[in-house]
A and B are shown apart, each in its own frame.
Chain A
Amino acid sequence: MALKVIKPGLLTTIQDLGRTGFQKHGVIMSGAMDPLSLRLANLLVGNEEGEAALEMTLAGPSLKFETDTIFAICGGDLSPTINQKPVPIHRPIYVKRDSVLSFGPAKAGCRGYLAVAGGFDIPKVMGSKSTYLRAGIGGYHGRALEPGDVITYQKQKNILPFFEENEHKNATFCTTDWGIEPYLFHRPKQVVRIIPGPHFEQFTKESREDLFHCKFKVTPQSDRMGYRLSGQLLRLEEQVELLSEAVTFGTIQVPPDGNPIILLADRQTIGGYPKIGQVIDVDIPMIAQLKPGERISFKSVSIFEAERLLLKREMDLKELKAGILLKQMST
């Protein structure tokens, strides 16, 4: 079982839910920018939800399936097609060998996640399959995909008998009559909920108000490490020299120039700039799907509200998981 990369796209890497346990050695977490979409794609094809998938960015790759394969794409809609025919996202797809999956413009969102049934054969480095580009480790030989790369995967048994029965039909690909609601867990409006950070009170009154009343634009200098925003400049009451300490996914730091940076999957393990806020866990996928040029605004919530929302999302996900399992068995 294998797929071959014909065109790599803008930035296509192998990611899972990240590398934990090594941050004290300075090894960054990496992992999917939109962990929820990665989990959903895996669930749709019957994998463990933290299995590695392809993270595709804005302009997707062209991939040739060398064997019959079951896959699913979740997250951003990068206009996938097989032999010019549109392929639905958020559904399991059965594709015949020698078919080519291509992508067009990013219609919605910024990052798509492609999971194959069985999971990619990628060796784990420090417990994770995620690509750590700067250190050149993990993923596919520690780098983004290039033309000619061949990624293999295991055949997954017992998945979707429906597809087995349809194997002899003429279509190059087929899908189920069910799928998951696109953006089921994503909030449509671009309002990012944050918990005020440890240095929030040290910003001027004006800056604290601006943070919640003004819009901020995602600049082109935004990548997997962090999103650099532009808008009202955020100023401290007085400049302070802070000691570097640990930061996390979604921490909003403000360097001396006053433009906030939201730290994302490839953030360094520690940071030394004042932390004005923290994006709540359930809103991380929305951030990861923002394209440069888009605007967002911030809303303040308490840590307890953030915890409640996270718990609720995980309960909803558990229900969805049970639903998918039932469908996979009955179709």
Chain B
Amino acid sequence: MVQLINKLDKEVKITRLSESAVVVSFGEEICFDLHEKVKALTNYLQDHSFVGLIETVPSFTSVTIFYDPIQIYKRERKVNHTNVESPSDFVCASLKEAIQNLEKKDKHRTRIVEIPVCYGGAFGPDLDYVAEHNNLSPEQVVKIHSSGDYLVYMVGFAPGFPYLGGMSGKIATPRKKKPRIEIPQGSVGIAGMQTGVYSLSTPGGWQIIGRTPLDLFLKDKTPPSLLESGDVVRFKPITVEEYDDYKEGS
């Protein structure tokens, strides 16, 4: 079954961010429904590119479309013998059409990615704090964290860094008051209602509960990111020995 979405969707807003970027927003709430729309538009533009389209960047509820205005201008002059005065008008019109044609398919090919995590100890210095904060034992925190399905809403902040949705409120913990100068690559953390994995070593204020031996930023691979918007992540607890085996094997 294929259903058309957005035909009468008044929530959809098209905004011009710059001379070469337009944002299509489907709403203001982080939810699976809006994520589906973001995914649908991103996929649609991948299959139906237009002249001048450079790239699309999906986020929680919007897709930003980057384009080359000069290419649009040149093409219209050459092919249609018209002078486009506003390339952004042209892009907005193309996007309106695209949104009308968005199809929401029943069956998505959702990729499930398992991420092994060695919780606690030197790899997760804040596990005890997270447990204490939530009146749980560290084992319970690990159990809760590793039993959820997490949706990758978008990748950004750092290369390969996933914004994950779906963490249980039972282990929510505020950020550290004083950020650490360096959080090692692979660290798994909690910040408020969010959980995430540091894809590069950076300063940061998240509560660190463990570390994965996997690389999330794959600088020599195409695509360069282990995770993509729309993937589902599951964390699997591993021992220090298993962590070392992964590291040696890679």
Contacts and interface: CB of A to CB of B under 8 A. Distances in A.
Interface stretch (B107-115, B135-143, B158-166, B169-177): B158-166
A99 B111 CA distance: 58
B57 to A, nearest CB: 4
B86 A307 contact: yes
Contacts of B21: 246, 248
Contact of A251 (B17, B69, B85, B228): B17
A244 B23 CA distance: 13
B159 A27 contact: yes
A22 B61 CA distance: 19
B62 interface: yes
Interface in B139-195: 154-161, 163
Contact of A268 (B30, B157, B217, B224): B157
B159 A310 contact: no
A78 B87 CA distance: 37
Given A137-B219, A244-B60, A22 B157 contact: no
A136 to B, nearest CB: 8
A188 interface: no
B156 A303 contact: no
B20 A248 contact: yes
B86 A243 contact: no
A243 B155 CA distance: 13
B80 interface: no
B18 A25 contact: no
A26 B160 CA distance: 6
Contacts of B30: 243
B54 A248 contact: no
Contacts of B23: 198, 245-246
B18 A26 contact: no
A113 to B, nearest CB: 21
A16 to B, nearest CB: 15
A126 interface: yes
B242 interface: no
A126 B160 CA distance: 14
Looking at chain B's contact residues, the main secondary structure is mixed
A237 interface: no
A114 B28 CA distance: 45
Nearest to B218: A25
A174 interface: no
Interface string A9-48: 0000000000011111111100000000000000000000
A24 B55 contact: yes
Interface string B63-88: 01010011001000000000001111
Contacts of B25: 245
B199 interface: yes
A249 B66 CA distance: 11
A20 B54 contact: yes
A26 B155 contact: yes
A78 to B, nearest CB: 29
B19 interface: yes
A307 B88 contact: yes
B58 interface: yes
A175 interface: no
Given A304-B85, A307-B87, A308-B85, A278 B17 contact: yes
A321 B155 CA distance: 39
17 contacts: A22-B55, A22-B224, A23-B66, A26-B199, A26-B217, A28-B159, A125-B219, A134-B158, A134-B200, A243-B62, A245-B59, A246-B23, A247-B17, A248-B18, A269-B57, A269-B157, A307-B19
Interface of B: 15-21, 23, 25, 28, 30, 42, 54-62, 64, 66, 69-70, 73, 85-88, 154-161, 163, 199-200, 202, 217, 219, 223-225, 228-229
Given A25-B224, A27-B224, 12 more contacts: A126-B224, A135-B159, A243-B30, A243-B61, A248-B21, A249-B18, A251-B17, A268-B158, A275-B17, A303-B88, A304-B85, A310-B69
- In order of increasing CB-CB distance, the 3 nearest A-B pairs are A246-B64, A25-B225, A270-B156
Interface of A: 20-28, 125-126, 134-135, 137, 195, 197-198, 243-251, 268-270, 275, 278, 280-281, 303-304, 306-308, 310-311, 314
